[in-house]
A and B are shown apart, each in its own frame.
Chain A
Amino acid sequence: MCPARAPVRGRGCAREPRAAHRSARLVPYAFMAPAVVLSSLLILLPIAYTIYLSLRRVEVSGLGLGAQGRREFFTGLTNYHAAVTDPELWAGTLRIGVYGLMVVPLMLGLALLFALVLDHHRVRYRNVSRMVIFLPYAVPAVIATLLWGFLYLPEVSPLHQTLAALGLPGVDLMGQRSVFAALTNIAVWGGTGFNMLVLYTALRAVPPDLYEAARIDGASELQMALRIKIPMLTPALIMTALFSMIATLQVFSEPVTLSPLSNAISTTWSPLMKVYRDAFVRDDIHLAAATSVIIAAVTLVLSFAFLRLVQSRAFTQEER
Chain B
Amino acid sequence: MSTEPATSTEPRRDQHGHRSDHSRRSPRRGRAPLVPTAILLLGTFYCLIPLAWVVMASTKSGSELFTTFTFWPGSGLLENVGELTAHREGLYWRWMANSALYAGLGAFLSALLSCLTGFALAKYRFPGRTALFNILLAGVLVPPIMLAVPQFLLFAEVGLTNSYLSVLLPSVVSPFGIYLARVYAAASVPDSLLEAARTEGAGELRVFWKVALPIMLPGLVTVFLFQFVAIWNNFLLPYILLSDDGKFPVTVGLYTLLNQGASQPVLYTLVITGSLLSVIPLIALFLSLQRFWRIDLLSGAVKS
Q: List the interface of chain A (C-beta within 8 A of B).
A: 3, 5, 7-9, 14-18, 24-25, 27-29, 31-32, 34-36, 38-39, 42-47, 49-50, 53, 110, 113-114, 117-118, 120-144, 146-148, 150-151, 155-158, 161, 189, 192-193, 197-198, 201-202, 204-205, 208, 211-212, 221, 235-236, 239, 246, 249-250, 252-253, 256-257, 260-261, 272, 275-276, 279-280, 285, 288-289, 292-293, 295-296, 299-300, 303, 307, 310, 313-315, 317-318
Contact = CB atoms under 8 A, between A and B. Distances in A.
B172 interface: yes
Contacts of A315: 186
A279 B156 CA distance: 14
A198 B222 CA distance: 14
Interface string B132-161: 100111111111111101110110000000
Interface of B: 3-5, 8, 10, 14-16, 18-19, 21-24, 27, 29-33, 36-37, 39-41, 43-44, 46-51, 53-54, 57, 65-66, 69-71, 113-114, 116-117, 119-122, 124, 126, 129, 132, 135-147, 149-151, 153-154, 169-170, 172-173, 175, 178-179, 183, 186-187, 197-204, 206, 208, 210, 229, 232-233, 235-236, 240, 251-252, 254-255, 258-259, 261-262, 268, 271-272, 275, 278-279, 282-283, 285-287, 290, 295-296, 298-303
Given A114-B43, A139-B279, A293-B146, A8 B210 contact: yes
A49 B150 contact: yes
- By secondary structure, the A interface counts as helix
B5 A132 contact: yes
Given A5-B200, A43-B147, A123-B27, A132 B48 contact: yes
B66 A142 contact: no
Closest 9 CB pairs of A and B: A31-B120, A15-B201, A28-B124, A158-B70, A46-B150, A314-B300, A147-B50, A14-B201, A8-B200
A49 B147 CA distance: 9
A260 B264 CA distance: 12
30 contacts: A25-B126, A28-B129, A31-B120, A31-B204, A32-B132, A35-B114, A39-B135, A42-B169, A50-B150, A113-B39, A123-B27, A123-B33, A126-B40, A127-B10, A141-B235, A142-B235, A143-B279, A148-B50, A158-B70, A197-B295, A204-B19, A208-B22, A221-B36, A236-B299, A252-B235, A253-B235, A253-B251, A257-B235, A261-B262, A299-B141
B44 to A, nearest CB: 4
Contacts of A129: 40-41, 43-44
Nearest to B290: A131
Contacts, number: 340
A43 B3 CA distance: 45
A32 B120 contact: yes
A17 B199 contact: yes
Contacts of B51: 135, 139, 147
A60 B138 CA distance: 37
Contacts of A279: 149
Contacts of B285: 138
Contacts of B40: 114, 117-118, 123-126, 129, 133
A133 to B, nearest CB: 5
Contacts of A135: 47, 51, 283, 286
Contacts of A257: 235, 255, 258
Given A39-B173, A47-B142, A132-B44, A124 B27 contact: yes
Contacts of A124: 27, 32, 37, 40
